[in-house]
Amino acid sequence: MEFKTILFYLFSAITVVAALRVITARNPVHAALFLVLAFFNMAGLWMLLQAEFLALALIMVYVGAVMVLFLFVVMMLDINIERVRQGFWNNLPLGALVGLLMVGEMAVVVSGRYFSLANLPPQSMPANYSNTKELARLLYTEYAYPFEIASVILLVAIVAAVMLTLRGRKDNKAMHSSDQIAVKAKDRMRLVKMSPEVELPAVAAKEGE
């Protein structure tokens, strides 16, 4: 058996176990961390397929950013595990159907040669083949417009998410750094010129006696 094959089985075994633990772990934080493990091993599998850009982008985007924010939210929630488990049997049929569909689709993709799908990539690449370069060439030439449209859609989603929470509360006491930096000593303090000694008015002096 080739070393690559051993690696493949190692990565896939860990991926499957981690994916199972994501849905069986009792603690949501553990589940999220198992998802991170699954992502890592998926990246390993992609690396074996010589898709180094996709593998590293998976770690960078999903592990490095998405899952960190996910954990950020999950850690702050006080999730009642019993309540979460309640609807399990009711939701199972729908979940199983979706799962079966996904398995079926993956089977069609994986055994594409059998179903004679067109445009299958060659099995082995030349040594100087750069996955990153090929991907970039396709994205910025042939698929430039779809790529731009996809990014604009994402931008719209970002703006929408910001707008949903941007209500401008009246009791907001947030400080603006630019205003704070722009402050001059004059704005905060008034220097008054006066003589060091002031003569007591005659009336006050009388009262003092």
Partner 1 sequence: MEAIVLPFVEGLLGPLWPAVKPVWPLLWTLVKIVLILSPLLLSVAYLTFWERKIIGWMQVRIGPNRVGPWGLLQPIADGLKLFFKEVLFPTAADKKLFVLGPVMAIAPALAAWAVIPFSPGWVLANVDAGVLYLLAISSVGVYGIIVAGWASNSKYPFFGAMRASAQMISYEISMGLGLITVLMVSNSLNLTEIVGAQSKGQFAGYGLGVFSWNWLPLLPMFAVYLISGVAETNRAPFDVVEGESEIVAGHMVEYSGMAFAMFFLAEYANMILISAMTSIFFLGGWLSPVGFLQQIPLVGVAFSNGFHWMAFKMAAILFFFLWIRATFPRYRYDQIMRLGWKVFVPLTLVWILVVGVWMMSPLTIWK
Q: Which residues bind partner 1 (CB under 8 A)?
A: 27, 29-30, 33, 36, 52-53, 56-57, 59-60, 63-65, 68-69, 71-72, 75-76, 130, 132, 174-175, 177
**Residue 63 CB partners (closer than 8 Å, separation 6+):** 36, 39, 40, 43
Q: How far is the CB of 168 from partner 1 (least distance, A)?
A: 17
For residues 74-96, one letter each, b for 16 or more C-beta atoms within 10 angstroms of the residue's C-beta and e for the rest, the string is: beeeeeeeeeeeeeeeeeeeeee
Residue 68 or 98 with smaller CB distance to partner 1: 68
Residue 75 or 81 with smaller CB distance to partner 1: 75
Residue 64 or 99 with smaller CB distance to partner 1: 64
φ, ψ of residue 25 to 5 degrees: the values are -60, 140
CA distance 72 to 104: 34
Q: How far is the CB of 71 from partner 1 (least distance, A)?
A: 6
Residue type present at position 205 = A
Residue 29 or 110 with smaller CB distance to partner 1: 29
Longest dimension (CA), the chain: 115
Q: How far is the CB of 175 from partner 1 (least distance, A)?
A: 7
Q: How far is the CB of 142 from partner 1 (least distance, A)?
A: 20
CB 41 within 8 A of CB 11: yes
- The tokens describing 4, both together, are 């690559």
3-state DSSP assignment of residue 192: coil
Residue 119 or 177 with smaller CB distance to partner 1: 177
Residue 173 or 206 with smaller CB distance to partner 1: 173
Q: How far is the CB of 68 from partner 1 (least distance, A)?
A: 5
Q: How far is the CB of 38 from partner 1 (least distance, A)?
A: 14
**Residue 61 CB partners (closer than 8 Å, separation 6+):** none
